[in-house]
Structure 1
Amino acid sequence: MLGDIFGNPAAGLWGIAVAKNWKSRQISSYDVTGGNQDFVTIPPGGKVVVGEIEGAGCISRIWFTIRSGDPDILRRVILRFYWDGEEDPSVETPFGDFFGCGFAEYSHHTSLMQGMTSGGYVSYWPMPFSDGARLEAHNLSDREVGNLYYNIQYHEVEGVGEEVARFHAKWRRENPTEIGENYTILEAKGRGHFTGCVMSMQSYDKGSAVFLEGDEMIYVDGEAHPSLYGTGTEDYFQGAWYFTHGCFAAPFHGLTLCDKVDARVSAYRLHVPGAIPF
């Protein structure tokens, strides 16, 4: 059972020496003719199903690379992932933002769970399911995606325990935001745990970083006062002094874009460990 795997302390790095009880499989865009055209194309306004899996399992790694004549293609291709036959996707986010950087920008970096690496885009987030999974890429651009390469590795298991949650990732945008009003990163109902975010921000005023003075506030289970109250936006992303030394990438936090001329930043924070339950 997958729940036994997640609940076992040996599931971490020390678990490399422990025998596994799953079957490893991989879906990819390989050329079925035996040639070297190992990619798919997506017409303008079209979509492609990059993975469809039956039964129970857990996605352990996703890798893509993409090519298009649209300079904003990383914002205009939308990833939608569905678990257990659901009609509404549990994952719905622009391509680039999902892998760690906003503004349709490529930023070479690695974190523990996702990154952009020498032209590739990779995720190691575990994504369990008990009754099938479907992964789609939608092209909202007016230009073709000429090359989309992918491979998706997953574990095939006998079952998934009831205690195993599902992976969710949602993209939201407010443009412009309201001065003096808090911006809501996530509003979730039910049971789960918050494991992090990728956040991209731009100031009203070029060259100004004052917008980073906002404090994070995390309210759990309807409480009136936040359980977690921070000291500044760059502090939440583990930087300081308006990210004084520029971009960096660490396992659980990083700054993937730092444009001081146009006052744009993109950063990630992973609550791994330290997930926030609700």
Structure 2
Amino acid sequence: MNRIKGICLAAFLIIGERSIASDKVTISTLLDEMISFEKAAEFPDPYYTCKMISSYDRRTVSPDKDWWYANDDGFGCMRLDTIQGRVEKVMFDYEGPGVVTRIWLTTNVKNGTLRFYFDGEENPRLVIPAYDMTRAPFRVGDALSLIHTNYTPEGAGGNTFMFPLPYQKSCRITFEEPNKDRNTWSPRYHEIEYRTYAPGTEVETFHPGQVHSHIMQEKIQDVNKALWNPQTFKGGERREFAMDIAPNQKSSLELPAGSHAVRSLIIDVHCRKGDYAKMMRQLILKISFDGKETVWAPLGDFSGAGLGAPKVDSWYMDADGRGHITSRWVMPYKENAKIEVENLFEFPVWMNVRAHVSDWKWNKNTLYFHTTWKQERGIELSNRYDDHKGDHMWNYITINGRGVFKGDLLSLFNYAPDWYGEGDEKIWVDNDVFPSHHGTGTEDHYNCSWAPVVPFHTPYGGAPRADNPSSHGFNAFVRTRNLDGIPFQKLYRFDIEMLSWNPGKVDYAVTNYWYGDLDAKINESSGKEEVVSPLPYLM
């Protein structure tokens, strides 16, 4: 059987010669990493690539070929294998050492059989009698196995499985349809994200018995509690200001000198006049580390909420929808840091900005925290999935340098009459000649399925806003990444297809959260002119 190797040797050569870390990668170490705010601020060591295989339409081959925007995403697979007389669709098949970090599935009907083969074994180590990871024969809790808002046990809907499945040599995931007539197979959508470590990295291969153990079940319960109820650091040295900021004025907060990290940032906002939504868009949060500004975003967008600044309830960020915001992003710096808020709103705004800062031991893997914001109005939507000549791609962000991508917020106003998000994300990393992440739909990227979408919250983000059942008007999606963060050595590029059910236009504002070196650069961002632009729905 031919395997497609998932190891990008060129990526490892970029790092240069070094010894492989002696610590073994296990389910336990991965769960610890998942709930470590500090670990997120480090470039991975041992290094790994993060990629995704999905059921995207296999007619999609190249931007200069027909069907680059092909949208029949429910039938794609790597190949068909005949195993012990069974025809099995191969959804995932890569050589390790590695870890499956995210399995997103949805379908119209859940019958059939999922099988997981590890380390070249002939017989599957894990069998699930449905196209449904909630039927796994062990409990991982609802923070690690998310049920989508439209899920039904036997019918339509899906789930996202975030429990890590490590392997030393290889992993193959297949699905057997319940009938042999291929012309009657149901559409089966999947996205599987995975890490591949350098050769020689020691990884303990998953076995269901590990999960059943009393010690592991206790750990899983603790991880679930942590993910649903993240603890905000309130120790260390506290720096804050509480004051009115006049229109077109700024207020700043100098942080302790020397090697430190912001462990939490808590902001309260109050305005006695004016519109709350407009105010939260026109308060600009800026943060500089070691002499360079790496964070610039409207406050409502920085919070993960977007236009209108509604409620957010997630691992890295909380907002109550009334002006109270908590950020748990760890933000290290070597020498100095400054937090600044600029008021572009028409009225004075009272603000309390509080940072909790503690010592940080800087090393070669430490990265700076970045947040960048971009808005474009009047973007054309198309429902021509077969049209390769038109440019239906929109760029979230392109980063040149080293870092780890950790999440994004899409906040928008949809002028079209109905669903705007048929488009797939296409993420290019380093030397990719084809996107190493090719998705199956906008809502799929944000861990839900079947548009239109209703508001929901998970530890990994959700949909803070969806004003109309048709999806016309205001919408917002946010996704942050724990084990599924994407490291890059020199390039990260995130494009999305602007495809919809019906033609129309959208206004998109995207906030990107990432860690990177201080000299990492982005291709494009928006500034004050977009923040104060006369949006009809904020007038």
TM-score band w.r.t. shorter chain: 0.7 to 0.9
1:46-102 C-alpha deviation (Å, 9 max, x unpaired):
10003433111111111111112231111001001000122xx10000000000111
In structure 2, the partner of 1:258 is 466
The answer to whether 1:168 aligns with 2:376 is no
Give, in angstroms, the shift of residue 160 of structure 1: 1.1
Q: Aligned ranges for residues 224-243 of structure 1 at < 5 Å?
A: 224-243=433-452
3-state DSSP class of the match of 1:96?
helix
Tell me if structure 2 keeps the 8 A contact 1:208–1:263. Answer: no
Structure-2 separation of matches of 1:198 and 1:43: 28
Aligned mate of 1:52, from 248, 255, 260: 255
TM-score (norm 1): 0.83
Q: Do the aligned partners of residues 26 and 230 (structure 1) sit closer, same or farther apart at CA in structure 2, a change above 3 Å counting? A: same
3-state DSSP class of the match of 2:443?
helix
In structure 1, the partner of 2:236 is 24
Give, in angstroms, the shift of residue 201 of structure 1: 2.2
3-state DSSP class of the match of 2:375?
coil
Tell me if structure 1 keeps the 8 A contact 2:258–2:334. Answer: yes
Structure-2 separation of matches of 1:70 and 1:80: 23
Q: Aligned ranges for residues 39-118 of structure 1 at < 5 Å?
A: 39-68=242-271, 69-71=273-275, 72-86=278-292, 89-103=293-307, 105-117=308-320
3-state DSSP class of the match of 2:393?
coil
Q: Which amino acid aligns with 2:404?
A: H
3-state DSSP class of the match of 1:53?
coil
Q: Which amino acid aligns with 2:376?
A: E
Aligned mate of 1:203, from 408, 414, 420: 414
| Runs of 4+ with >6 A deviation | none
Structure-2 separation of matches of 1:264 and 1:181: 21
Structure-2 separation of matches of 1:93 and 1:250: 23
Give, in angstroms, the shift of residue 118 of structure 1: 6.3
Give, in angstroms, the shift of residue 243 of structure 1: 4.2
3-state DSSP class of the match of 1:142?
coil
3-state DSSP class of the match of 2:301?
helix
In structure 1, the partner of 2:108 is none
The answer to whether 1:272 aligns with 2:482 is yes
Q: Aligned ranges for residues 147-162 of structure 1 at < 5 Å?
A: 147-157=350-360, 159-162=361-364
Structure-2 separation of matches of 1:257 and 1:50: 31
In structure 2, the partner of 1:182 is 393
| Greater Cα offset, 249-258 or 218-227 | 218-227
Structure-1 separation of matches of 2:309 and 2:317: 13
In structure 2, the partner of 1:214 is 423
Q: Name stretches of at least 5 consecutive residues in structure 1 with no aligned partner.
A: 1-8, 15-22, 30-38
Higher relative contact order (CA 8 A, sep 6+): 1
Q: Which amino acid aligns with 1:218?
A: I
Structure-1 separation of matches of 2:306 and 2:321: 17
TM-score (norm 2): 0.44
Give, in angstroms, the shift of residue 204 of structure 1: 2.6
Structure-1 separation of matches of 2:332 and 2:359: 10
In structure 2, the partner of 1:6 is none
Which has more radius of gyration? 2
Tell me if structure 1 keeps the 8 A contact 2:462–2:479. Answer: yes
Tell me if structure 1 keeps the 8 A contact 2:309–2:321. Answer: no
Give, in angstroms, the shift of residue 242 of structure 1: 1.4
Identity of aligned residues (%): 25
Q: Which amino acid aligns with 1:28?
A: E
Q: Name stretches of at least 5 consecutive residues in structure 2 with no aligned partner.
A: 1-28, 37-218, 220-234, 382-390, 489-539
In structure 2, the partner of 1:3 is none
Q: Which amino acid aligns with 1:250?
A: T
Aligned length: 246
Structure with more of its chain in strand, by fraction: 2
Q: Which amino acid aligns with 1:73?
A: M
1:96-137 C-alpha deviation (Å, 9 max, x unpaired):
00001111x132231000011363101000101011110100
Give, in angstroms, the shift of residue 257 of structure 1: 0.4
1:29-59 C-alpha deviation (Å, 9 max, x unpaired):
3xxxxxxxxx211111110003433111111
Aligned-residue Cα RMSD (Å) equals: 2.0
Q: Do the aligned partners of residues 160 and 100 (structure 1) sit closer, same or farther apart at CA in structure 2, a change above 3 Å counting? A: same
Q: Which amino acid aligns with 1:75?
A: R
